[in-house]
C-alpha cells in the first residue's frame, strides 16, 4: 500500500435497491469516472456477482471507466507487463484487468481504461509530474467515484503532495523492463516517489474538509458508502491547506 489508513470495524450493509444506486450514478454529469470499489460491501448490498453488476451499471451510465492498475512491486522487481501484471491493490482492479481496453505505461501507478478515454500526450515516465497522467485527470476534472469504501480513496492526494513538495516525500527513479506483449519490451526508468518515513493518511479529516467546501458528495445507501469528487476540485480545495501546513494530509 502507498500509505497506512485507519482501521475500522465491520460494517453492516444492505440490502440496497438497485434503483437507488442508479439514481446516485445518474447524478454524475461527467462521462468519465475513476473507480475505487469495495466488492465486500457491494456483495452485502446486492448479492450475486457484484463485479458484473457494478461494471454493467458503470458502462450503462458512463462512456469510460478508469480503475487503478497499480503494481508497486515494480519498485523491487523491475518487471512490468502491460497485459499480464495483475493489479496489486483491490479485488475490483484485478477483475477489471481483462475487461480494460487500455493501460497506461506507468509500471507503478498504471491506469486501466474501459472505453475511449486515453492519455496520448502525457508523460507516462514521471508519474506525478505536471505533464503526467494525473495532471490530465485534474485538468479535465475527471470524477473519482468510490463505492463500498469506508473512506475516500483517491490517488490524487499524491499529486497534491508532489505539487506542494511536502517534506516527507522523496523523488526516486526505478529502472526496469516494460513488456508490451509476449515479445516486445523496452528498458525503462520510472520517476515516482517514496515516503521519507512512515505516514498515515488523515482520511476522515480530509473528507470532512472536502465536504465543508462542497466538493465531495457522500451517500449512505443502507450502509453502502458512495463518494464522488472531481480531481480538479479536490486539488483546488486541498492545495491551499497543504501550502499552509505541509503535513495536513497526514497525521
pLDDT at 136: 97
Helices (H), 62-194: 74-77, 91-96, 133-139, 156-164
Q: DSSP E strands: which ranges in the chain?
A: 32-37, 64-68, 79-81, 102-103, 111-114, 143-147, 169-179, 185-195, 216-221, 224-230
Please give the grid coordinates belonging to residue 202. 488523515
pLDDT at 164: 94
Please give the grid coordinates belonging to residue 221. 445507501
Tell me if the pTM is above 0.75. Answer: yes
What Cα–Cα distance (Å) separates residue 85 from each residue in 75, 78, 103, 146, 185? Answer: 13, 12, 11, 23, 14
Smallest CA-to-CA distance from 113 within 125, 124, 127, 99 is with 99
Q: Rounded CA gap, 150 and 8, in Å? A: 8
Task: Quote the distance between the C-alpha of residue 50 and its chain's center.
Answer: 19
What are the DSSP calls for 169-183, one per residue?
EEEEEEEEEEESSSS
Give yes or no for a contact between 62 and 33, defined as CB atoms under 8 angstroms apart: yes
pLDDT at 3: 35
Look up residue 167 and give its DSSP letter. T
pLDDT along the chain (251 residues), means of 10: 38 88 97 97 96 98 98 97 95 97 97 98 94 96 96 93 93 95 92 87 94 97 97 97 96 73
Q: Rounded CA gap, 86 and 70, in Å? A: 8
Q: Of all helices (H) and strands (E), which one includes residue 56?
A: helix 50-61
Q: Rounded CA gap, 237 and 232, in Å? A: 9
Smallest CA-to-CA distance from 28 within 217, 232, 235 is with 217
pLDDT at 182: 82
Amino acid at each position: 500500500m502507498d500509505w497506512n489508513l485507519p482501521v475500522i470495524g465491520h460494517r453492516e450493509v444492505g440490502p440496497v435497491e438497485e434503483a437507488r444506486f442508479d439514481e446516485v450514478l445518474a447524478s454524475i454529469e461527467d462521462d468519465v469516472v475513476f473507480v475505487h470499489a469495495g466488492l465486500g460491501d457491494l456483495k452485502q448490498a446486492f448479492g450475486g456477482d457484484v463485479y458484473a453488476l457494478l461494471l454493467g451499471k458503470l458502462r450503462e451510465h458512463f462512456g469510460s471507466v478508469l480503475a487503478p492498475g497499480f503494481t508497486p512491486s515494480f519498485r523491487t522487481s523491475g518487471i512490468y507487463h502491460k497485459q499480464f501484471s495483475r493489479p496489486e491493490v483491490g479485488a475490483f482492479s484485478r477483475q477489471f484487468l481483462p475487461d480494460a481496453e487500455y493501460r497506461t505505461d506507468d509500471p507503478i501507478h498504471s491506469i486501466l481504461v474501459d472505453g475511449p478515454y486515453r492519455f496520448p500526450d502525457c508523460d507516462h515516465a514521471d508519474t506525478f509530474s505536471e505533464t503526467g497522467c494525473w495532471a490530465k485527470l485534474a485538468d479535465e476534472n475527471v470524477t473519482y467515484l468510490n463505492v463500498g469504501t469506508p473512506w475516500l480513496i483517491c490517488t490524487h492526494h499524491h499529486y497534491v503532495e508532489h505539487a506542494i513538495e511536502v517534506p516527507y516525500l522523496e523523488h526516486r527513479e526505478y529502472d526496469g523492463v516494460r513488456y508490451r506483449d509476449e515479445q516486445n519490451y523496452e528498458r525503462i526508468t520510472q520517476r515516482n516517489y517514496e515516503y521519507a518515513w512512515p505516514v498515515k493518511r488523515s482520511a476522515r479529516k480530509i473528507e470532512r474538509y472536502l465536504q465543508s467546501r462542497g466538493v465531495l458528495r457522500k451517500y449512505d445507501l443502507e450502509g453502502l458508502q458512495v463518494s464522488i469528487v472531481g480531481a480538479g476540485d479536490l486539488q483546488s480545495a486541498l492545495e491551499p491547506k497543504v501550502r499552509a501546513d505541509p503535513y495536513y494530509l497526514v497525521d
